[in-house]
Structure 1
Amino acid sequence: MATIYDVARSAGVSPKTVSRVLNGDGPVGQRTRDKVEKAMSKLGYVPSNAARAMRSNRSGLVGLITGAISSTPSNVELSGLPELFIVQGIQRAIEPLNMTLMISDTGGRLDRVPQLMRTFAEHRVEGLIYVADYHKKVDLPDTPGIGKVVIANGYDEQGTPCVLPHDEKGQYALVSEAITKGHRRIGYLTLANALDATRLRTAGYARALADAGIAYDPALVIEADMAEPDPEVETQLLWDAIDRMLGLENPPTLLCMGNDRMAMRAYGILRSRGLNLPGDISIAGYDNYRTLAETLYPPLTTVELPYAAMGVRAAQLLMSLIREEGQAPSEPQLVSGPVCWRDSVVPLVKPNTNVTPIGRKKT
């Protein structure tokens, strides 16, 4: 393998001159530069990035740890690809910055994260982004030499700079707009209560009601999903939650679901009870998995989780830290998405009297 000294001998210059051509850290005449570059090409010389990084403390490398590759769900139509969309957003933001993104997958094993971080430190990455599989608290090891760290779709107790979805704002926007469309009895069938997203979205739901002068009714908020996936149990929970909602003396005119997958199941449950959607009851989801939301009938009103934008923001935040452009933010950077209004929610002109605990009244 050719060395810098071989290039110098072939070009008839000093090793220092070759170094100046490689690093751009000193004046070199064009004729001399051409001779050096011709010699490198002839000898097949490849510069040692590791050695250059040690000298300049700039490797041009950014590390990314994710589980998106190994844990891609088999049924994308039902679950979406949140982690992968975040990774794609990061890649789009890093690509034009003359930086190289090094991606490592956990293989679904969180115990691999410390070793992956040590490996990135050995490669002298200038910064690292850790992508959580959903909005949650994470625990990253303190790894010397790792440079700057940003967490996407998660946070930790140490206050590491992070980017999160604005769950509270999304649910607030959905419920507020539904109220302006005449809905005052709005049910909320939530994801598992243990999730941060449930806590925040429920707070947004409650705030929207309060701002409209509508009293919060605990009977209209029911946990209808599990933290650990189990389709059979989840369907049973959702059936029971809908049954309770329809059994209320004053049932809701709109059911907000924890995500689009739950909304899809609710379509079937409600129709099995003889209800027309959205004529008898409106439905809204959360996530905006377009493959699902746009193909349901009627198309599903839902809130977009801006995963790609979160990835871009995480990359931008990391680059600003690497360039030391101001102090690291003390609070999470929240990224919001729009409410995507479709035909599953209709304006309510009068109270719905067609819904009974069994289903739809016969006319």
Structure 2
Amino acid sequence: MGESRAAIRGGGMATIYDVARLANVSAKTVSRVLNEDGPVGPRTRQAVQEAIAQLGYVPSNAARMMRSNRSGLVGLITGAITAAQEPTHPAGLPDLLIVQGIQRVMADQDMTLMVADTGGRADRIPRLVRTFLEHRAEGLIYVADYHQRVRLPPVAGSTPLVLANCFDDAGTPAVLPDDRRGQHDLVARIAAAGHRRIAYLTLREDMVATSLRSLGYRDALAEAGLPFDPRLVQVAYLSDGEEDSRILVEAIDRLLELPDPPTVLCCGNDAMAMRVYGILRSRGVRVPEDMSVAGYDNHRIIAETLYPPLTTVELPYRDMGQRAAERLLACISGQGRDEPTPTLVSGPVLWRASVTDRPAANPRHISFNGRSEP
């Protein structure tokens, strides 16, 4: 090994042939050392390893990839990076938590996750898909920021695609939150605590989650033997703007003015529940003494810091990410690629102090001015 590193490399990147010359062996012997796929004597192996270290040689995986058709790469497309705002703001959290769940599974399987952000522009998705395919990604995952129907460009060739937090009309494998079960479990638990007038302040009516949760709400009422009263269901969210504040205030006022008002308000998400606390208190209605409040999502920075802490349902974002990763790995191995049924993932009800028990023998009426009346 008398030749210098500079003489061997000539100032460029070292190759397997440079290593072979410096170690005084064949390139095939170097390949055997790198791939551990053939017999090599200990002294020869040491010479090759010393040459690699001296030259700073970095093996290329290109040839191995061509032979095995495996790259160990998975592409993920999301809008989480540009959507995320301040760390304390709930926006962007679903995407990021799903990505964390995917990363955990891929790391355990020694797969490398390549993440690309759409920048909030759907027209970038086809180019990102092509880029991942050019890098020989073995599979792709698309993560949406909320439960929705999507339309993605077809993926060329046989590369599998899995959707997380979304679905399409083509039957692409998908992992979704079980919104119907989540709302059912929450309302069933509230009914078991003695509440008989359970209101539901919904998100936009055109959202997939709203239609599914409304079904779960009615399922739980029916199971508890409680009649469905359409006056107790109020749309209270449109676009997260100033108009929403007016809509939410008016919805709450309509509920409080009912001859038989609710004893609990179930909110479409935890951010809405936080605003409901303030509106109720501005009207002299105490939480939970006069009115119980429940949320949805379990955004812990909201649910655990409100006073009283918020009863809510966890949207299992990390679990969804893990299940999406597991489903993609199964598709890569040739299993379940033709299974169109979405994987539904449910989360637990987190029972906290914002919902109080209501003994059936001692009902109270909440008048519009907030006073409790027998």
Identify the TM-score tier after normalising by the shorter chain.
over 0.9
In the aligned structure 2, how far is the partner of 1:145 from the partner of 1:79? 35
Shift of 1:88: 1.2
**Alignment size in residue pairs:** 361
Query: Does structure 2 retain, via aligned residues, the 8 Å contact 1:255–1:282?
Result: yes
Q: Mark the CA change 1:211 to 1:193 in structure 2 (over 3 Å): closer, same or farther.
A: same
**Secondary structure of residue in 2 paired with 1:69:** helix
Alignment partner of 1:286 is 2:291: no
Cα shift readout 1:213-245 (whole Å, capped 9, x = no counterpart): 22211111111101x331x11111111111111
Distance 1:28 1:127, change over 3 A: farther
Question: Separation in 1 of the partners of 2:163 and 2:207?
Answer: 17
Larger Rg over CA atoms: 2
Shift of 1:328: 4.8
8 Å CA contact 1:89, 1:311 repeated in 2 = yes
Partner of 1:268: 278
Give the deviation of 1:300 after TM superposition: 0.5
Matched with 2:22 is 10
Task: Indicate conservation of the 8 Å contact 2:80/2:95, yes or no.
Answer: yes
- 1:173 Cα deviation after fit: 0.4
Q: Which runs of 5+ in 1 are unaligned?
A: none
SS of the aligned residue for 1:76 comes to: coil
Query: Could you tell me which of 221, 224, 235 is aligned with 1:223?
Result: 235
Whether the 8 Å CA contact 1:121–1:146 is kept in 2: the answer is no
Deviation of the 1:31 alpha carbon: 3.8
Cross-structure match for 1:44? 56
Partner of 1:164: 176
Matched, 1:135 2:137: no
Q: Identify the residue that residue 60 of structure 1 maps to in structure 2.
A: 72
Structure 2 residue runs without a partner (length 5+): 1-12
Q: Is the 8 A contact 2:78 2:116 kept in 1?
A: yes
In the TM superposition, structure 1's runs of 4+ consecutive aligned residues that sit over 6 Å from their partners are: none
Q: What are the equivalent positions in structure 2 for 1:115-130 lying under 5 Å apart?
A: 115-130=127-142
Alignment TM-score, normalising by the size of structure 2? 0.91
Give the letter aligned to residue 110 of structure 1: A
Matched, 1:211 2:202: no
- For the 8 Å contact 2:366–2:373, the answer to whether it is kept is no
TM-score by length of 1: 0.94
Question: CA contact under 8 A between 1:117 and 1:146: conserved in structure 2?
Answer: no
Pairwise CA RMSD: 1.9
Query: Residue 79 of structure 1 contacts residue 261 of structure 1 at CA under 8 Å; is this kept in 2?
Result: no
What is the percentage of aligned positions where both structures have the same residue? Answer: 59
How far, CA to CA, are the matches of 1:67 and 1:132 in structure 2?
Answer: 7
Structure 1 residues 146 and 109: CA distance shift in structure 2, 3 A:
farther
Structure 1 residues 29 and 329, CA gap change in structure 2 (3 angstroms): farther
Q: Could you tell me which of 170, 175, 178 is aligned with 2:190?
A: 178
1:336 aligns with 2:331: no
